[in-house]
Structure 1
């Protein structure tokens, strides 16, 4: 499935490609036993039957999607970076990037929340 992630990143807006590559690398480090998949047109990382983390690029921002508990557990750090959140996602852009440390924390927390 690696080629699918490569193709997704290659098709994303050019300004976001370096961030998406970093995001993917951080998720791979945090979830070494996860399988890279594409679900609902979005790249993700699956352990067993559970998607632990996913990411996407849009026209003006990117998003990292994890378990709601992971978002709640790191709400203060997310707020300190002035990033926007939804119940299951954190959005970021080139002007307001997500840190590699936060990516890894969210992925590990999301994995823990799924019980795997």
Structure 2
């Protein structure tokens, strides 16, 4: 696994069209958590809040992944169902429209869970 010093460095390793998608995923997440910090963890971009990870995103050959997924919101679970790729992972196929609104909802729910949970 290649080591990347920054989210920018990670994104730069992908073809231009994939970079655009990754940048939009990044912007979408940052709109929800503008105070989040960016880092690389487990070799992929990670947004942290208060020093704890909130959400990871990654580019792959044929898809973009988002981890983890929130619990408890039945409508959100139904909306995520077509993108589920294992427990806690959403997979968005490259070449198909990326549901950025769904990524926003996932991030918002994760942030809400973090804010309502134990410190």
- Fold shared by both chains (TM-score > 0.5): yes
What do residues 35-58 of structure 1 show as CA deviations (whole Å, max 9, x unaligned)? Answer: 111111110110013211110111
1:70 to 1:107, Cα distance in 2 relative to 1, 3 A: farther
Gaps of 5+ in 1: none
Identify, as 1 or 2, the structure richer in helix.
1
Instruction: Provide, for residues 44-73 of structure 1, a one-character-per-residue CA deviation record: whole Å limited to 9, x for no partner.
Output: 110013211110111221101134427866
Matched residue count = 112
SS in 2 for 1:98: coil
Query: Which of the residues 23, 28, 32 maps onto 2:30?
Result: 28
Q: Flag the 1:115–1:92 CA change in 2: closer, same or farther, 3 A.
A: same
Match of 1:45 among 40, 44, 47: 47
Q: Which runs of 5+ in 2 are unaligned?
A: none
Q: Which has the larger radius of gyration?
A: 2
Larger relative contact order (CA 8 Å, sep ≥ 6): 1
Give the Cα separation in 2 of the matches to 1:70 and 1:44.
23
1:60 aligned partner: 62
State the Cα RMSD in Å: 2.2
If the length of structure 2 is used for normalisation, what is the TM-score?
Answer: 0.80
After superposition, the Cα gap between the structure-2 partners of 1:114 and 1:87, relative to the gap in structure 1 and judged at 3 Å, is farther
